[in-house]
Structure 1
């Protein structure tokens, strides 16, 4: 009877050990994939951004702001209350609406981030695009104290983060 209990205990222990090994191996692979994605995204230029899907642009911005020292949290794909990213730096919290568009970004994005700013109790709200903004979006952003980052300002931000002084490096990647 003791041998059976010992064998049962040993098998149970080995099974649990196997589960932990499989779990930690998959976690390590997951972390490795994330690091590879972050490295690839960190090398992207503005023309690469123009080809990204919306979610890829959000991931790109997350990497960019992590490199600036922010803690970055992505919101759910739906029911995000108007924010794609939540950035924190000490007591400061800001929300970002990412718009990877082929056309100018309109007033709706400003309305959404303004709502998100209140919902997430953020001090600032930003809309970041690879394009430009309509005049109505600019007007509303000014009155609502929302920061708009257009294509040119995004390139400047990328240059600053990458420590590059030449726009050619950001544009040609």
Structure 2
């Protein structure tokens, strides 16, 4: 932790030049870049790991960076001395600009189990998608985004910023390309289920439990929102329905995207959701590469519409998936009325 050096001739008590002295370590302010806020994106990877280790130490923990090889997927070993809730913590750092994939969160969980640690922490300069938060839910994992990292650094007397625009990143409002085939950062939600029941899969862009307006109810008669951030797609096997979502470009006052399914009254006028089983949502990237698989509730006899789940905006502007399961006997009409849609 003090970056000590071994004398080349310890038997002769040969001195070494100190790299850091005790009074420089501890609760003092470490600037990592002089008077100017250092850009975390541009930092040397080793220096970035050292900064994160300094943060853990400033928070009252013991922390050391690991060797560059043979670290078993651990960048920092930390120990929280707090009784009861403390213990061994393994830390991974990702100096990314793009969203951290869910596979990194799964790998961290495996490392936590292999190391016998109490907790795993993944620190990044970017953010995490809904699949990552879904996987981490209920597990001894903590995900720290770039904006949260900058805030923690400043609160503990350390320095850092993300890019040249300021200390904290502010999500920008973007409009998805009208054709839906550009390079915008979007996800595809692919819905699949067993059985031959025909379903209409729809999406509601909401604030709380109220849809923003009728134009933000995406279904067979309204295949896209006015700004194109949510739109229906032609599904590709094994999916039976698909919706494209540009999460970062959704209206800033929207905090929820609700995904629902309902019996198609034309194709299956007498059917119910008892045939809706083994269902799920595949979270795909813009190239339809699978990122995560989200389980949803099976249907029940007598019900003809079902809330599959909702993606909810967190305080740091990341999104997490929350499973649904509420069914409706009155079909799509009854369900959407609960979200503020007036059905004539």
Both structures adopt the same fold (TM-score exceeding 0.5): yes
- Unmatched 5+ stretches in structure 1: 1-15, 165-169
Once the two structures are superposed, the pairs formed by residues 1-173 of structure 1 within 5 Å of their partners are 19-21=12-14, 24-26=15-17, 28=18, 30-31=19-20, 39-41=30-32, 45=37, 48-90=39-81, 92-162=87-157, 171=167
How far did 1:19 drift? Answer: 3.9
SS at match of 1:162: coil
**Dislocated runs of 4+, deviation >6 Å:** none
1:98-123 deviations in whole A, cap 9, x for unaligned? 01112111112212211221122211
TM-score normalized with structure 2 length: 0.37
Alpha-carbon contact 2:127-2:146 (below 8 Å) kept: yes
The separation in 2 between residues aligned to 1:81 and 1:158, in whole angstroms, is 26
Describe the shift of the 1:48–1:18 C-alpha distance in structure 2 as closer, same or farther (beyond 3 A). same
TM-score (normalised: structure 1): 0.69
Q: What is aligned with 1:6? A: none
Bigger proportion of residues as helix: 1
Structure 2: runs of 5 or more not aligned:
1-8, 160-165, 169-344
Please, which moves more after superposition, 56-65 or 143-152?
143-152
Secondary structure (helix, strand or coil) at the match of 2:63 reads: strand
- What are the Cα deviations for residues 36-82 of structure 1, in whole angstroms up to 9, with x where unaligned? 9x83428674x611111322211110111111121112222133222
How much does 1:143 deviate? Answer: 4.8
| Higher-RCO chain (CA-CA 8 Å, sequence separation at least 6) | 1
* More strand, by proportion: 2
- Asked if the contact 2:30–2:157 (Cα under 8 Å) also holds between the matched residues in 1, the reply is no
Match of 1:7 in 2: none
Pairs aligned (count): 144
Classify the secondary structure of the residue corresponding to 2:20. helix
User: Using the alignment, how far apart are the partners of 2:44 and 2:120 within structure 1?
Assistant: 22
* Backbone CA RMSD of aligned residues: 3.1
Q: Contact (CA 8 Å) 2:102, 2:132: kept in 1 or not?
A: yes
* Contact 1:105/1:133, CA 8 A, preserved across alignment: yes
